[in-house]
Chain A
Amino acid sequence: MALKMVKGSIDRMFDKNLQDLVRGIRNHKEDEAKYISQCIDEIKQELKQDNIAVKANAVCKLTYLQMLGYDISWAAFNIIEVMSASKFTFKRIGYLAASQCFHEGTDVIMLTTNQIRKDLSSPNQYDTGVALTGLSCFVTPDLARDLANDIMTLMSHTKPYIRKKAVLIMYKVFLKYPESLRPAFPRLKEKLEDPDPGVQSAAVNVICELARRNPKNYLSLAPLFFKLMTSSTNNWVLIKIIKLFGALTPLEPRLGKKLIEPLTNLIHSTSAMSLLYECVNTVIAVLISLSSGMPNHSASIQLCVQKLRILIEDSDQNLKYLGLLAMSKILKTHPKSVQSHKDLILQCLDDKDESIRLRALDLLYGMVSKKNLMEIVKKLMIHVDKAEGTTYRDELLTKIIDICSQSNYQYITNFEWYISILVELTRLEGTRHGHLIAAQMLDVAIRVKAIRKFAVSQMAMLLDNAHLIASNTQRNGICEVLYAAAWICGEFSEHLEEANQTLEAMLRPKVTTLPGHIQAVYVQNMVKLYASILQQKEQAGEKEAAQEITQLMIERLPQFVQSADLEVQERASCILQLIKYIQKLQVKEVPVAEEVIALFAGELNPVAPKAQKKVPVPEGLDLDAWINEPPSDSESEDEKPKTIFHDEEQRHSKPRHPEMDEEELARRREARKQEQANNPFYIKSSPSPQKRYQDTPGVEHIPVVQIDLSVPLKVPGMPMSDQYVKLEEERRHKQKLEKDKKKKKQKKEKRGKHHRHNSLHTESEEDIAPAHHVDIITEEMPENALPSDEDDKDPNDPYKALDIDLDKPLADSEKLPVQRHRNAEALKTPESEVPPVEKKSKKPKKKEKKHKEKEKDKGKKKEKEKKHKKEKEEKSKDKKKSKKKHHHSEEEMAESVQNGTLDDEPLPPMSSYRLLAENPYIKTTYDIQGNLQNDSQVTVSVIFENKSTSFLKSMELNVLDSLNTKMLRPEGSSVHDGIPVPFQLPPGISNEAQFVFTLQSIVMAQKLKGTLSFIVKNDEGSTHEKLDFKLHFSCASYLITTPCYR
């Protein structure tokens, strides 16, 4: 023995310790992987030795390697060995390794239960501590169930060091094993008033975490926490309590009222930013919950906003960020208070820190009003130009669109401005959001009728300059806008000034390089354009021009007919034929325009994206039955903006009605023309026919400079949205002047001044009339649309299970299971022993069974479906049963809770029998036990229960052996022979039989397939039946139980 010790320590001298390993790794930078694989080989050798110190050293090194990303799960068993070392030095390392690499999937984790229990009750508090710490990292539902009672006992340990750890770990236990919450809660509550501040704060921590998830169960604790809050000086604890109140107030407004005062006091007095921040957050939460019931708390809001402003103005980026974050919470309920800090938030857009800029952007979304929209968007556009990095730029782009389109374009007073913004955004390179811009263009053009003329002119310009946009199609970005442009020009072609030019632009060879779905739209809309040109020419009697345009189409369309894209090809060839036919008619001098245009006649209405889903099915309507013969051609169908890019064209029908606000628009255009004329960037094109405009009463007076008639109406440049900002300001200013004649202001005032002036007057939003009459068509919804679907809560929420009423008295069935030594008697006389066990521990057993069944289900996928169904039915029955039981026993055992003397009472032992398989005739459960005499054998005890009214006989059990695990059969029989069950079963009777298995290795879990065959005999005769099962040997089942220490 002594020699062995000496030998061991000499060996160790040559082993690498952790420091050597680390140093070695640092010295082998070039061939690290090779060096480490060498080390792992060494470690494997070390783990094979008997010396625990060597093993611990090896495990310690492994833990380090695990951090470097190496898999050490193969050493899990060795880690458990080190955990069970008697010396703290090694135990500590073992638990550390376990906490680093064990997880719920770790197979051997089952083996640790007893070791952990032993360590928890160790006289040495550090042993206990280390076990608790480790457990907190790898607790599984099984461990939680088995150890809950032990940990609960530790909550009343004499040493505060253990108490606080035990209290904290209970939270993890609750999460894994929700049934433990009710029995443990009284003691947890007790710990809120523990003399030791550490334990107290631990209890506060746990209850706060619990209450945050399911606040309603913890309302009754509010007075206690209120007391704690007013008395505590520990900021860590205060923060937790205040957070808890934040969760409780929405449920109990009276609590909120009471909280305001102490919280505001804290806000005033505290110097700790973290506490201040928490208070502000909770005050906000309180105010939100009160906003309906209480008239005003403007003082508190003001205080919060003030404090947040200080945070935002702070040079510390962190405070700035949090300030903005909290501000956005206030914004939802008290937008006015935040809007007055617009300047500050706009400043934040210039911050170096992207995360702060994004926060500020979020805030801006909620801050816009009719009054400041243009200004804010202008600022944003400047940022778009100078933003580096496409991610942030894309973010800006989406925000601009979000801001403008929010609540049905509520804040947009001038849609020409908005279209110009959209067109400007198309200049962004490499954006991913081309489809967003396109969708907006379509939406606005369709829904704002007054803007169509302007939109069409802008879109025609885009089509003309398509080569700029489509230069990098591979990035799948901005060329999407051409989709919108083509469609708008086609659909609203009656507004086109230079239809010929646009048509030619659409027929350019370059178009064929565009993505297929865009080309398809091009092709379809060409025809619409063509139709309207044809009509125009025919009406003007220009037959030659009409034929020319037909000829152009016939010449250019074949390039689309050759397209590789099926959609494009199909449409193009179809249309080509149509036009050839038209040509024939034209040659015969037959007027065709009316007929062609009739192809696209009809009004188009936007339909809400959800409309189709919301149509209620009238009673008695069978949607699958034919009403008439299947319709040959479809009528206009609902329009869904989301799918528009890939949808058929058939729904596009043509609106045609006179433009209401033509004069108004024209005036705008002229003002713009003026600007463009002075701008060398624009290229002048041929003049377009002039129109005369009359002043209409009630329309805005926009300062229009005398127009040079030679200025082109349509120019192939880009519009400047800024111009609208200026115009808009002047318009508003004018409005104001009219209203407020006493105050004479200079006309050319600077914007800043102007706005300050605006904000001085408490001018309401409604005072700003829109620049032109805007008729926003709302999206159509079917009559009696169904109410919107309720948003479902995530059923997988782990905290949901902890939604447990804690005030109800505790039932007996809810007590925490206490692990007891498995009864040897149970084995010998199972019939007499098993039923009472089942009765006593109904709940835990059911639980376990369910759990096992689930496992089984997974394994049994291949088995017949019928069986599945039955099992499920069985399960639900079980549930119902246990529920009933639960209610029943609750009343009986109401007394036991108040005493809190749970551990003194006799606790039901756990039944370890699990379900093997069942069918309508028979139910089998099994248990696996190690053999004390022969450690390469295990005994499987199977209980057979006859569930039918028939007599079961000639039962025979057979198992398919694996390499590792074999069923012990009588000598001379082959491996395919089954073993007869030594009894017969009359109806309703159960009995137990035992089968011995031999094993090679105990570190391998096994699943053996098997069949039970039997003969069912009843009045009608006998039938042969079979039941398949899977016998599951977990590593833990090889354990030999030893008597409990206590």
Chain B
Amino acid sequence: MQFMLLFSRQGKLRLQKWYVPLSDKEKKKITRELVQTVLARKPKMCSFLEWRDLKIVYKRYASLYFCCAIEDQDNELITLEIIHRYVELLDKYFGSVCELDIIFNFEKAYFILDEFLLGGEVQETSKKNVLKAIEQADLLQESQNEDWGATS
């Protein structure tokens, strides 16, 4: 996978994860282009499109679009699974996740994604393990916060 973008129906970017090094300018250009293209598609259209030499796989959950770019030989369906799995993980972690959860805790959303995917490849297929790792890291964070005197 080359990158993953989350954006709202209004075209606001909510999360971006790039697994290929690109300059900010290039990233912005790609994001703008893709957000436009995907939002312009009608709801009944299929979730795949060819874009430059990549394939874009996207799916809409409530008001959020999850959009991944994969290479030519990659499997579109498994990419949809990845998106779905990520949504499930967010859902489990936040408890029926909504767009606001991701806006206000965007760093958490990244942490979850980083436990699930690494360098664009699935690193952990078990939902339980991903959540366990996140919980423990959070625990570590909290205990440190206590040492230090909590003022959040």
Asked if A and B are interacting partners, one says yes
Residues of B within 8 A of A93 (CB): 107
Residues of A within 8 A of B106 (CB): 18, 63-64, 67
Do B75 and A277 have beta carbons less than 8 Å apart? yes
Residues of B within 8 A of A317 (CB): 44-47
**Residues 112-125 of chain B: 1 if any A CB is under 8 Å from the residue's CB, otherwise 0?**
00100011011111
Residues of B within 8 A of A105 (CB): 23
**Residues 304-331 of chain A: 1 if any B CB is under 8 Å from the residue's CB, otherwise 0?**
0000000000000110111000000000
Q: Is B34 an interface residue (CB 8 A)?
A: no
Residues of A within 8 A of B124 (CB): 164, 198
Residues of A within 8 A of B111 (CB): 92, 96
Residues of B within 8 A of A234 (CB): 125
Interchain Cβ contacts under 8 Å between A and B, 7 examples: A67-B16, A92-B107, A140-B21, A169-B119, A198-B124, A212-B73, A236-B122
Do A202 and B123 have beta carbons less than 8 Å apart? yes
Residues of B within 8 A of A129 (CB): 133, 137
Expressed in whole angstroms, the minimum distance between the Cβ of A98 and any Cβ of chain B is 12
Do B118 and A13 have beta carbons less than 8 Å apart? no
Expressed in whole angstroms, the minimum distance between the Cβ of B27 and any Cβ of chain A is 9
A9, A60, A73, A165: the one within 8 Å of B118 (CB): A165
Pick the interface stretch among A131-139, A221-229, A836-844: A131-139
CA distance A87 to B149 in the complex (A): 13
Expressed in whole angstroms, the minimum distance between the Cβ of A755 and any Cβ of chain B is 30
CA distance A8 to B56 in the complex (A): 47
Query: How many of chain B's residues have a CB under 8 angstroms from any CB in A?
Result: 53
Residues of A within 8 A of B126 (CB): 198
Do A274 and B81 have beta carbons less than 8 Å apart? yes
Residues of B within 8 A of A87 (CB): 144, 148
Expressed in whole angstroms, the minimum distance between the Cβ of B127 and any Cβ of chain A is 12
Expressed in whole angstroms, the minimum distance between the Cβ of A53 and any Cβ of chain B is 7
Do A103 and B22 have beta carbons less than 8 Å apart? yes
Q: Closest residue to A247 on the B side, CB-wise?
A: B73
In chain B, positions 96-112 with a C-beta closer than 8 Å to chain A are: 103-104, 106-107, 110-111
Do A355 and B46 have beta carbons less than 8 Å apart? yes
Do B77 and A273 have beta carbons less than 8 Å apart? yes
CA distance A87 to B140 in the complex (A): 9
B21, B78, B125, B144: the one within 8 Å of A89 (CB): B144
Q: Closest residue to B121 on the A side, CB-wise?
A: A205
Expressed in whole angstroms, the minimum distance between the Cβ of B29 and any Cβ of chain A is 11
B28, B80, B119, B140: the one within 8 Å of A69 (CB): B28
Do A168 and B123 have beta carbons less than 8 Å apart? yes
Residues of B within 8 A of A951 (CB): none
CA distance A103 to B47 in the complex (A): 30
Residues of B within 8 A of A22 (CB): 103-104
In chain A, positions 129-173 with a C-beta closer than 8 Å to chain B are: 129-130, 132-133, 136-138, 140, 161, 164-165, 168-169, 171-172
CA distance A547 to B69 in the complex (A): 71
Residues of A within 8 A of B28 (CB): 69
Q: Closest residue to A64 on the B side, CB-wise?
A: B106
CA distance A12 to B148 in the complex (A): 13
A-B complex: 8 closest residue pairs judged by Cβ atoms = A274-B77, A317-B46, A136-B119, A321-B46, A133-B114, A274-B78, A89-B141, A353-B45
Expressed in whole angstroms, the minimum distance between the Cβ of B101 and any Cβ of chain A is 12
CA distance A103 to B26 in the complex (A): 12
Q: Is B63 an interface residue (CB 8 A)?
A: no
Residues of B within 8 A of A352 (CB): 42, 44-45
Do A88 and B118 have beta carbons less than 8 Å apart? no
Do B18 and A137 have beta carbons less than 8 Å apart? yes
Which interface residue of B45, B46, B103, B111 has the most chain A CB atoms within 10 A?
A: B46
Do B107 and A96 have beta carbons less than 8 Å apart? yes
Residues of B within 8 A of A41 (CB): none
Query: How many of chain A's residues have a CB under 8 angstroms from any CB in B?
Result: 75
Residues of B within 8 A of A201 (CB): 122, 125
Expressed in whole angstroms, the minimum distance between the Cβ of B30 and any Cβ of chain A is 12
Q: Closest residue to A202 on the B side, CB-wise?
A: B123
Residues of B within 8 A of A18 (CB): 104, 106-107
CA distance A22 to B111 in the complex (A): 19
Do B118 and A168 have beta carbons less than 8 Å apart? yes
Residues of A within 8 A of B121 (CB): 168, 171, 202, 205-206, 209
CA distance A273 to B81 in the complex (A): 10
Q: Closest residue to A138 on the B side, CB-wise?
A: B21
In chain B, positions 43-59 with a C-beta closer than 8 Å to chain A are: 44-49
Given the known A-B contacts A133-B118, A318-B76, are A165 and B46 also in contact in the complex, defined by CB atoms under 8 Å? no
Which interface residue of B16, B19, B22, B123 has the most chain A CB atoms within 10 A?
A: B123
In chain A, positions 48-102 with a C-beta closer than 8 Å to chain B are: 53, 60, 63-64, 67-69, 71, 73, 87-89, 92-93, 96, 99-101
Do B23 and A103 have beta carbons less than 8 Å apart? yes
Residues of A within 8 A of B77 (CB): 273-274, 277-278, 318, 322
Q: Closest residue to A236 on the B side, CB-wise?
A: B125
CA distance A67 to B7 in the complex (A): 11
CA distance A104 to B26 in the complex (A): 13
Q: Is B13 an interface residue (CB 8 A)?
A: yes
Q: Closest residue to B12 on the A side, CB-wise?
A: A68
Residues of A within 8 A of B42 (CB): 352-353
Residues of A within 8 A of B64 (CB): none
Which interface residue of B22, B24, B119 has the most chain A CB atoms within 10 A?
A: B119
Expressed in whole angstroms, the minimum distance between the Cβ of B64 and any Cβ of chain A is 14
CA distance A236 to B74 in the complex (A): 12
Residues of B within 8 A of A206 (CB): 121
Do A239 and B75 have beta carbons less than 8 Å apart? yes
Q: A12-B151, A22-B103, A103-B23 are in contact. List 17 more A-B contacts (CB 8 A).
A: A18-B104, A19-B104, A63-B106, A67-B14, A67-B106, A73-B24, A126-B137, A126-B140, A136-B119, A198-B125, A206-B121, A236-B122, A317-B47, A318-B76, A352-B42, A355-B45, A355-B49
